Structure 1
């Protein structure tokens, strides 16, 4: 199966972002990809909460999602919108992935579970939970001969999620992201390779890259990792582009047979300080 990750440099205008995305979706389809993943915040990368509130559209009848659904149907491909902000009734937003099937129907939805709330020395406190509401449900979806496990960006730091996805049948993990440059240089490759190795799964990661209109800079380097932890394809830069990779379910079966970590895992009691 051929899959694709689209690397973007999304801005503040959803229609401009869609105009950037559409030709790359078509390029991926014409190159033979059956499944295409876009990055986190593909359709709007907000400058601040107020700008997000002024632009984010309701989920029902969402105009850009409607166009992407049409593209999935027109080209007969799975299209996975890595994420977009969806207004909720409590004034916050869901950071939501949307997977479209080859006929353009919504096949799966996933709201990002892990939100980045941190106090960083020398910087202001970052509270993603002030803007977004965390999801509560892990999600897997059928994808031809594969089963897709859904996640978003910061989720990749929590191996228990991927273990749960693998034990629910996932053989391909999707990681749309908007990683900062310093954390990308330090952690991007090693975290994605670790998630592949420990679950014996393929990982496809679609990234934002470059300097964005909102003032953020993101790392890029969209990549695909095989179940043995090898990077099999990478856009080794931060420019927009299309990454293609071939994946084979036999490689998942082989990796899990060689290192049966999913089968060997056991529950255990937490550590208790002795003495």
Structure 2
């Protein structure tokens, strides 16, 4: 269990289809809207939010992507999670969450395992399997004494992923929830994952209407504590939500209600 607080900067964005404009936004946020102690967390599709063809054309190799984003972190001297970047592999494009130290070192990569599908044959339908290849392995990162599990958007609906991590102190969910699914399910799913796993859940989302897809994104990035209480929540627009995670809260909840010790499956 961690002994020191963890500071997060949850960066709610309205990303565009173009890599370079989004990269410039990321660079400015790291320099101007975060503190040295922060772990900056950016949403899914942070560097490219658009149609499937745009995503496939924008995708870069892992080496190119790591070099580019690592240099941003090193320059700003900030640790950061880029919560969903298109990475080109031999077998297709992966939707990858990349976790960097403040020196620009890649600490871990998680490829989204559950690919979203919503009315795929209808007008405005979504089928991520037409764009991405699914990941296969859960990923947990140790950062400043905190065990942090990585998830991306639709993963939130699959509690078995969260349990596959083993005990974690923080679950990160980087997302691009639609306004409709977000209004119905966002907060209740995040609070449920926090309650089930007796950990903090920090979720950061895309917001606004995307010009290329005409999809409206939900925003409302939030932090839920291990008791399932919402400690902080953003609105519908772009911004940075800074939050501090108290390790004593983890200890108190797990001591009062030792549910993790009572698992039989």
TM-score by length of 1: 0.88
Cα shift at 1:125: 6.1
- Among 45, 49, 54, which residue is 2:49 paired with? 45
For residues 62 and 122 of structure 2, the distance between their equivalents in structure 1, rounded to whole angstroms, comes to 37
In proportion to residue count, which structure has more strand? 2
Q: How does 1:108-257 map to 2 (within 5 A)?
A: 108-119=108-119, 126-165=126-165, 167=166, 169-214=167-212, 215-237=214-236, 239-257=237-255
Any stretches of 5+ residues in structure 2 without a counterpart? Answer: 1-5
Cα shift at 1:192: 0.5
Q: Computing the radius of gyration over CA atoms, which structure comes out larger, 1 or 2?
A: 1
Residue number in structure 1 paired with 2:3: none
Q: How does 1:72-83 map to 2 (within 5 A)?
A: 72-83=73-84
What is the DSSP-based 3-state SS (H/G/I as helix, E as strand, rest coil) of the residue aligned with 2:162?
helix
Residues 118 and 8 (structure 1), Cα distance of their counterparts in 2 relative to 1, 3 Å cut? closer
User: Over aligned residue pairs, what C-alpha RMSD do you find?
Assistant: 1.9
What is the DSSP-based 3-state SS (H/G/I as helix, E as strand, rest coil) of the residue aligned with 2:86?
strand
For residues 182 and 117 of structure 2, the distance between their equivalents in structure 1, rounded to whole angstroms, comes to 18
Cα shift at 1:158: 0.7
For residues 118 and 232 of structure 2, the distance between their equivalents in structure 1, rounded to whole angstroms, comes to 32
For residues 226 and 27 of structure 1, the distance between their equivalents in structure 2, rounded to whole angstroms, comes to 27
For residues 134 and 33 of structure 1, the distance between their equivalents in structure 2, rounded to whole angstroms, comes to 33
Cα shift at 1:227: 0.9
- Among 53, 58, 79, which residue is 1:55 paired with? 58
Any stretches of 5+ residues in structure 1 without a counterpart? Answer: 268-275
What is the DSSP-based 3-state SS (H/G/I as helix, E as strand, rest coil) of the residue aligned with 1:54?
helix
Cα shift at 1:152: 0.3
What is the DSSP-based 3-state SS (H/G/I as helix, E as strand, rest coil) of the residue aligned with 1:151?
strand
TM-score by length of 2: 0.91
